[in-house]
Amino acid sequence: MVRGLSQLQVSNTTCTNCIHGKQHRGDMPTSTWRASQPLELIHVDICGPISPISNSGKRYTLYFIDDFSRK
């Protein structure tokens, strides 16, 4: 223990910013539904900015994935 320091008062209240800052994001919801034919459901994702840039000077990529074929 350190001698000569005054006793600190402990606060029993927690600010809302502290509570929100410690929350974790939940899992993405899952779906049991699958496409039954090609191009019925398309998933799209964008990635970037990437480094190093491409040979043509692009910094973003865009992905289209067919749910039926997964390609």
Does the pLDDT value for residue 1 go beyond 80?
no
Tens-digit pLDDT profile for residues 10-69: 777 778 887 778 777 788 788 888 999 999 999 999 999 999 999 999 999 999 999 999
How far apart CA 68 and CA 33 sit, in angstroms, is: 11
For residue 51, how far is the Cα from the chain centroid?
20
How far apart CA 60 and CA 53 sit, in angstroms, is: 8
In this prediction the pTM is 0.50
